[in-house]
Amino acid sequence: MPRILSLKSLLAAPSLCRDVGRFLRERLGQRLAWHSDHVEVASSARIDSLAQVNLPAIVGKPVVLSIGEKVVLGPHVRLYPSPTRGISIGSFATINSSTDIHGEVSIGRHCVLAAHIYMSSGTHEFRLRPTFTIRDQDQLAAELGKVDHGAIRIDEDVWIGQGAFIGRVVTSDVAPYDVVAGIPARKVGERALFSPPTRIDGAEENHTPYFYEGFDCDAGALKQAGATGLRKFRGRAMIVLSKIPARKVRLEGESPSRVDMRVEFAGHSWNEPLQKGKFAVEKIITDSDGFPEATFANGFALNLIVPGGVTMGISSVAVYS
C-alpha cells in the first residue's frame, strides 16, 4: 500500500494556479499518493512538471479532482475543476499536451486524448445581475450555489483527436462506438457495430462492447476471459443489453467471497446475496418504481455494484421477455 501524503495546508488557499506537476513528479518517484479533502491523485500517475491545476473556491469537502492509476498528463495540460463534482480522470487514461479541461468532466478508463483539446461543461452568467460584469456574475453564481454545468461524460476506451472542442463543436451525445468529425461534429463512421443482444457471454470477444464499463478490458484481460469465461470488475460495472420489455434477468459468474451484489436494471434495483464460488441467479421483473434508469438508444443499462475491495467475475447475463 502506498503511503498517503496530506497536502491540506498546501491547498488551503483557494483560486490559485498551482504547478502541481513539478510537486508530484518529485514525490511520485517515492510512490507517494497525493491526497487532500478535495484532490486525490494515485501514486502511479505520471504528471508532467508543466501541467497545472486551478482550484476554485470550494465549500465543504467535495473531491473536485480525482486522477486514477497510471494516468499520464502531458506538458501544459490545464485542469479547471468546478467547485462541486469537478474533474475525474479514470485509470490508464492519457491526456496529451496543451489540453484544457474546464468544469464538471468525467473521463473514463483507458481513454486517449490527443494534444490541443478544449473541453468545457459550463457557461458564463450574464442575466443573473445584468449590471455586474460577467466575471462578477460568475462569482455571485458560485456563492449562491447556482452554478449550472451541463456535465461532460467520456465513457471508457474513447479516443479524442487533436484539436477537438467538446462543448462548442461536439454539443450533443455521441452514441457508443460512433466516429464523429467536422465542425459541427457529425457521424462519419463506426468503430464497431453497437447492437446489444439479449444475452452476453464472458468468453465471447465480440461481446466486449456490451461489458460496457468497469470491466478489465486490456489485451491480457481479454485473453484470460477467453480461457476462463469470466469478465472481472471491482466496485461498480455496467453492462448493456437489448432494449426489450424484459420480465426476467439471469446472471452467472463467480464470487471470490460471501458478498452482497447490488443490481440495477430498467427502473428496478435489488441485492443478490452471493456465496463464495460459482453462482447463477434470476430475478423476475415486476412493475414498480425504482432508480432513474440509464438507457441507450437501443439498449438498457444493467449496473452491478460490490464492495470496493472485491473482484467479481461475470460469465453471462441475459434478459427474457
CATH code for the domain in which residue 89 is found: 2.160.10.10
Q: Which residue, chain included where needed, has cell 443490481?
A: 263
Q: What are phi and psi of 65, to 5 degrees?
A: -145, 125
Does 27 share its domain with 171?
Answer: yes
d(CA 122, CA 255): 42
Q: Flag whether 193 is in a domain.
A: no
Question: Cis peptide leading into 184, omega within 30 of 0?
Answer: yes
Do 95 and 211 lie in a common domain? no
Say whether both 154 and 278 belong to one domain: no
In angstroms, the Cα distances linking 234 to 134, 203, 305, 307, 312 are: 44, 19, 8, 8, 6
Q: What is the pLDDT of residue 168?
A: 54
Question: 285: Cβ–Cβ under 8 A, 6 or more apart, which residues?
Answer: 246, 247, 248, 249, 265, 266, 268
Residues 158 and 107 grouped into a single domain: yes
H or E element: which one contains 235?
Answer: strand 231-242
173 lies in some domain: yes
Domain-embedded: residue 140:
yes
Can you give the CATH number for the domain in which 230 is found?
2.60.120.260
- Final residue of a structural domain among 141, 162, 188: 188
Are residues 134 and 76 both part of a single domain?
Answer: yes
In a domain, residue 30? The reply is yes
Instruction: Say if residue 90's pLDDT is above 90.
Output: yes
Alpha carbon 310 to chain centroid distance? Answer: 19
- What domain range is 135 assigned to? 3-188
Verify that 182 and 225 share a domain, yes or no: no
Kindly state whether residues 306 and 232 are assigned to the same domain.
yes
Are both 169 and 225 inside the same structural domain?
no
Where does the pLDDT of residue 21 fall: very low under 50, low under 70, confident under 90, or very high at 90 and above?
very low
Mean pLDDT of all residues in 147-157: 82
142 sits in which H/E element: helix 134-144
Average pLDDT of the residues in 142-159: 81
In a shared domain, residues 106 and 182: yes
Q: For the chain, report the end-to-end CA distance as a whole number of angstroms.
A: 47
Per-residue pLDDT tens digits for 33-86: 445 667 888 888 998 888 888 877 666 667 788 999 999 999 999 998 887 778
Same domain, 8 and 119: yes
User: Looking at residues 89-117, what average pLDDT do you find?
Assistant: 95
In a shared domain, residues 10 and 114:
yes
Structure pTM? Answer: 0.74
- Residue 137, C-alpha cell as written in the block: 456574475
Domains: count for the chain? 2
104-113 mean pLDDT: 95
The pLDDT assigned to 4 comes to 29
194 within a domain of the structure (yes/no) = no
Instruction: Give pLDDT, residue 132.
Output: 73
Same domain for 73 and 113, yes or no, is: yes
